[in-house]
Structure 1
Amino acid sequence: MAQEPKPQHQVPKVHSDSDSDSGDIESGCGGDLLYPKMTEDPALRWAFIRKVYAILSIQFLFTAAVAAVGSFLKVIPEFLLSKSPAAWAVYLLLILLPFIVMWPMLVYRQKHPVNIILLALFTICISLSVGVSCAVVGGKVVLQAAILTAVVVVGLTLYTFFAVRRGHDFTFLFPFLYCCLLVLLVYCLMQILFPLGKLAHTIYGCLGTLVFSGFIIYDTNQLIRRHTYNEYVIAAISLYMDVINLFMSTLTFSSSCN
Structure 2
Amino acid sequence: MWNQAFRKSDPEAGARLLYPVMLESPELRWSFIRKIYAIVAIQLLATIAVGAVVVSVRPVANFFVSTGAGLALYIVLIITPFIVLCPLYYYHQKHPVNYLLLGIFTISLAFVVGLTCAFTSGKVILESVILTAVVVIGLTLYTFWAARRGQDFHFLGPFLSGALLVLIVFALIQVFFPLGKISVMIYGCLASIIFCGYIVYDTDNLIKRYSYDEYIWAAVSLYLDIINLFLALLTVFRASD
Q: Smaller-chain TM-score range? A: over 0.9
How far did 1:23 drift?
6.0
Alignment of 1:70 with 2:54, yes or no, is yes
Alignment of 1:103 with 2:66, yes or no, is no
How far did 1:68 drift?
1.4
Code of the aligned partner of 1:193? F
Is the contact between residue 91 and residue 97 of structure 2 (CA under 8 Å) also seen in structure 1?
yes
Q: Which structure would you say has the larger Rg?
A: 1
Q: In the TM superposition, what are the counterparts of 1:93-242 in structure 2 within 5 Å? A: 93-242=76-225
How far did 1:99 drift?
1.5
How far did 1:81 drift?
4.5
Secondary structure of 1:21 counterpart: coil
Is the contact between residue 206 and residue 253 of structure 1 (CA under 8 Å) also seen in structure 2?
yes
Aligned to 2:4: none
Deviation string, structure 1 residues 39-70 (Cα, Å, up to 9, x no partner)? 11100000000000000110000101112122
Tell me how far apart the structure 2 counterparts of residues 172 and 145 of structure 1 sit (CA, whole Å): 29
Aligned to 1:5: none
- What 5-or-longer segments of structure 2 have no aligned partner? 1-7
RMSD over aligned Cα atoms? 1.7
Deviation string, structure 1 residues 67-99 (Cα, Å, up to 9, x no partner)? 2122222223434454x4334313311221111
Structure with greater helix share of residues: 2
Tell me how far apart the structure 1 counterparts of residues 186 and 116 of structure 2 sit (CA, whole Å): 18
How far did 1:24 drift?
6.0
**Greater alpha carbon shift after TM alignment, 136-145 vs 154-163:** 136-145
Q: TM-score, normalised by structure 1?
A: 0.86
- What 5-or-longer segments of structure 1 have no aligned partner? 1-19
Is the contact between residue 72 and residue 139 of structure 1 (CA under 8 Å) also seen in structure 2?
no
Is the contact between residue 67 and residue 131 of structure 1 (CA under 8 Å) also seen in structure 2?
yes
Tell me how far apart the structure 1 counterparts of residues 12 and 155 of structure 2 sit (CA, whole Å): 28
